[in-house]
C-alpha cells in the first residue's frame, strides 16, 4: 500500500507563556514566570513546519485551542461577564488563571494516539484522543481535540476517532508521546510500542521524585480499541530514573521511525530484554533488520539528554528516501550531544544527516521538535478523504505567517492574562484562523459547534 507519514504540528496560540504549570517537566518549572514572546514562538513553529515540508515530508497543521478558556471557569462556578471573571480570578487564584490560559495544545504529540490502517483489525486509521488527566491545564484540551480530529477525519469508512479513555487516574493517557511505530515501509504492517510509567491499579509508584503519568492500563486499552495484533504490540516500562530526571514522557528519552529506534540506555526498565524482544518481533513481522541505537549514559548523561532534548528530535524520511534526524539547536550547542549526532551519522545505520532547528520558545516550556507534532500515517485514499484545508502548502504558509504577524503579541507576562483585550485578541485570531483553514465553527465562542462525543466509538 502506498502510504506516507504526515506530521500534524500544533500552531502556537496567542497566549503562549511560561507559568511553570507542568510538574516533572524540568524546563517548564525552570522558566516559570518568565516573559514570553507568543509571536516568536508561533513563527518558530511555523518555520519548523516549512523546513520539514521542504524536505519532502508531508506536513499539516492543527489549530490552537481557545484561551483563556472561559467555559471551564463557568463550569467551576464563576459568574459575571468575561472581564469580571478574569479580574476576579487574577486576584483570587492566579494559578488557575494561568492554567486556563495555557497554550499547551501546541504540543500535539499529546493530542492522541494513532494507529494506521495497516496495523488495525478493520483496516481503518484509529485515533484515541488523550485524556491528559494528570495535568489540569492539559485535561481541558480533550473535548476540543476530539472535535477537531472528528472534523478532519470525518469519513468513517477510513477513520475511527474514539472517545478519550475514562477520566480516571487508572487510565491516565498522555497520547503519542508514549507511543512509537516501527515498520519496513509506511504502508506495510508495523510494530507498535507503548511505554508506561506505572500500573494504574497499583497504589505504589516506581518513581520517587516526579509522578509517572502514563499507565499500563491506558496503553492496553488503546491497543484493544485499535484492534492491534498482540504479536506486533509491545508494552515497555519507562525507567523511574528517567522520570525522576525530568523525562515526563518517553519521547524525551527515545524516538523511532521505520527501522530505526534511538534510545537512551536509561530510557527503559530492562533495556536489554526490550531490545531482544523488539528486534525479534520486528524482523519476524517486517522481514528486515532493525537498527536500535542505544546512547550510553557515559556519553550523554540523562541531564544533558533532557536539557537538549536530543531524543525529542524528529526522525524523518525525505522525498529522496534519506533518513534524517531533525534536532533542537541546543543539541548542536552541547558538545556531548553534538558528538553523538556526528557519531550516528557516521555509523552503520540509515541516518544520513542531522539537521538543527530553533524552537527555543517551545523548548523553554519543555517541548522540542517532536513534542510539536502528531504523526499520522495515511494511505493515498485516506489522505484524499481527510480535510484538505490543514495540509501545509506554500500558500498556507504565507497566510499563517501574515496571520501570526498581525494577531500575536511580542511580549506576554503573567499579569497580562487577565487583560480582557487579550481574550478578545485571541478570539479574533482564532475566528480568522478557522476561515483560513476552512474549518467552520469549532470554538465555543463561535456559533454553536457540534458535540465532540456521541458517535458511538468507545
Distance CA(337)–CA(335), nearest Å, equals: 6
Q: Which of 50-64, 181-195, 197-211, 278-292 has the lowest mean pLDDT?
A: 197-211
**Sequence-distant (≥ 6) Cβ neighbours of residue 63 within 8 angstroms:** 11, 148, 390, 430, 433, 434, 437, 439, 442
The 3-state DSSP composition of the chain as helix, strand, coil percent (nearest 5) reads 40, 20, 40
Please state the φ and ψ torsions of residue 158, each to the nearest 5 degrees.
-110, -30
Query: Residue 172's pLDDT band (boundaries 50, 70, 90)?
Result: very high
Region 138-160 average pLDDT: 98
pTM to 2 decimal places: 0.95
Q: How confident is the model at residue 23 (pLDDT cuts 50, 70, 90)?
A: low
- Phi first, then psi: give them for residue 153, nearest 5 degrees: -120, 65
Q: Which residues contact 100 (CB under 8 A, 6 or more apart)?
A: 67, 68, 69, 70, 72, 73, 137, 140
Is 60 exceeded by the pLDDT of residue 456?
no
Residue 293 has pLDDT above 80, yes or no: yes
Which position has the higher pLDDT, 365 or 141?
Answer: 141
Asked whether 180 and 377 are in contact (CB, 8 A), the reply is no
For every residue of 127-166, DSSP letters joined together read: EEE---TTSHHHHTTHHHHHHHHHHHT--TTTEEEPPPPP
The pLDDT score that the predictor gives to residue 31 is: 54
Report the alpha-carbon angle 245-292-280, nearest 5: 120
> Quick one: pLDDT band at residue 115, thresholds 50, 70, 90?
very high
If 0-12 CB within 10 Å is exposed, 13-18 middle and 19+ buried, where does residue 75 land? Answer: exposed
Residue of 422, 426, 361, 366 lying closest to 37 (CA atoms): 361
- At residue 248, the pLDDT reads 87
The whole-number average pLDDT for the span 71-82 is: 97
What CATH class has 3-67+102-436? alpha beta
Task: Give the angle subtended at the CA of 314 by the CAs of 311 and 315, to the nearest 5°.
Answer: 100
pLDDT in tens, 367-389: 899 999 999 999 999 999 999 99
183-236 residue pLDDT tens: 999 999 999 999 999 999 987 766 678 889 999 999 999 999 999 999 999 999
Q: Residue 206 has what pLDDT? A: 66
User: Looking at residue 453, what is its pLDDT?
Assistant: 56
Check if the beta carbon of residue 424 is closer than 8 Å to that of residue 388.
Answer: no
Just list the catalytic residues. 174, 249, 371
Residues with Cβ within 8 Å of residue 92, at least 6 apart in sequence: none
**Parallel, antiparallel, or unpaired for β 125-129 and 112-115?**
antiparallel
Measure the CA–CA gap between 45 and 65, rounded to whole angstroms: 16
pLDDT > 90 in the chain, percent: 89
Q: Would the pLDDT of 130 be above 70?
A: yes
> Does the pLDDT at position 449 exceed 60?
no
Phi, psi of 263 (to 5 degrees): -145, 150
> Across all residues in the chain, what is the average pLDDT?
94
Give the residue extent of every domain in the chain: 3-67+102-436
Residue-level pLDDT at 1: 74
Confidence at residue 29, expressed as pLDDT on a 0 to 100 scale: 54
For residue 454, count other CB atoms closer than 10 A to its CB: 8
Letter string b/e over residues 288-324, b meaning 16 or more CB atoms within 10 A of that residue's CB: eebbbbebeeeebebebbbbbbbbbbbbbbbeeeebb
Residue pair 90/68 in contact by the 8 Å Cβ criterion = no
Closest C-alpha among 97, 35, 139 to residue 365:
35
Amino acid at each position: 500500500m502506498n502510504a506516507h507519514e504526515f506530521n500534524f504540528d500544533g500552531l502556537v496560540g496567542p497566549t503562549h507563556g511560561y507559568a511553570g504549570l507542568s510538574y516533572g517537566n524540568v524546563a517548564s518549572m525552570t522558566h516559570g514566570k518568565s516573559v514570553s514572546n507568543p509571536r516568536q514562538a508561533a513563527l518558530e513553529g511555523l518555520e519548523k513546519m516549512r523546513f520539514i515540508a521542504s524536505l519532502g515530508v508531508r506536513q499539516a497543521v492543527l489549530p490552537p485551542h481557545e484561551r483563556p478558556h472561559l467555559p471551564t471557569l463557568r463550569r467551576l462556578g464563576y459568574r459575571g461577564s468575561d472581564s469580571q471573571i478574569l479580574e476576579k480570578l487574577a486576584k483570587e487564584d492566579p494559578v488557575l488563571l494561568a492554567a486556563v490560559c495555557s497554550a499547551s495544545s501546541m504540543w500535539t504529540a499529546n493530542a492522541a494516539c494513532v494507529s494506521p490502517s495497516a496495523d488495525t483489525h478493520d483496516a481503518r486509521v484509529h485515533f484515541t484522543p488523550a485524556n491528559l488527566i494528570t495535568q489540569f491545564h492539559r485535561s481541558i484540551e480533550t473535548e476540543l481535540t476530539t472535535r477537531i480530529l472528528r472534523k478532519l477525519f470525518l469519513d468513517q469508512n477510513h477513520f475511527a476517532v474514539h472517545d478519550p479513555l475514562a477520566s480516571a487516574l487508572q487510565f491516565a493517557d498522555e497520547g503519542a508521546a508514549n507511543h512509537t511505530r516501527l515498520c519496513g515501509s509506511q504502508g506495510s504492517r508495523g510494530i507498535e510500542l507503548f511505554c508506561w510509567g506505572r500500573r494504574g491499579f497499583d497504589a505504589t509508584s516506581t518513581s520517587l521524585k516526579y509522578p509517572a503519568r502514563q499507565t499500563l492500563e491506558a496503553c492496553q486499552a488503546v491497543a484493544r480499541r485499535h484492534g492491534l495484533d498482540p504479536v506486533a504490540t509491545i508494552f515497555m516500562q519507562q525507567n523511574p530514573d528517567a522520570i525522576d530526571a525530568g523525562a515526563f514522557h518517553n519521547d524525551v528519552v527515545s524516538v523511532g521511525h521505520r527501522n530505526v529506534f534511538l534510545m537512551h540506555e536509561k530510557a527503559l526498565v530492562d533495556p536489554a530484554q526490550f531490545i531482544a524482544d523488539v528486534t525479534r518481533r520486528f524482523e519476524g513481522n517486517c522481514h528486515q533488520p532493525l537498527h536500535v541505537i542505544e546512547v550510553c549514559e557515559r556519553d550523554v548523561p540523562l541531564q544533558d539528554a533532557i536539557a537538549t532534548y536530543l531524543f525529542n528530535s524528529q526522525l524523518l524520511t525525505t522525498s529522496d528516501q534519506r533518513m534524517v534526524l531533525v534536532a533542537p539547536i541546543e543539541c548542536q550547542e552541547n558538545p556531548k550531544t553534538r558528538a553523538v549526532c556526528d557519531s550516528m551519522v557516521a555509523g552503520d545505520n540509515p541516518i544520513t544527516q542531522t539537521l538543527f532547528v530553533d524552537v527555543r520558545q517551545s523548548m523553554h516550556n519543555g517541548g522540542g521538535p517532536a513534542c510539536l507534532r502528531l504523526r499520522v500515517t495515511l494511505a493515498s485514499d485516506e489522505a484524499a478523504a481527510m480535510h484538505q484545508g490543514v495540509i501545509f502548502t506554500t500558500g498556507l504558509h504565507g497566510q499563517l505567517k501574515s496571520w501570526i504577524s498581525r494577531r500575536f503579541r511580542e511580549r506576554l507576562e503573567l499579569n497580562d492574562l487577565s487583560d480582557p483585550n487579550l481574550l478578545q485578541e485571541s478570539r479574533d485570531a482564532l475566528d480568522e484562523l478557522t476561515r483560513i483553514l476552512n474549518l467552520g465553527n469549532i470554538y465555543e465562542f463561535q456559533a454553536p459547534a457540534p458535540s465532540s462525543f456521541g458517535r458511538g466509538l468507545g
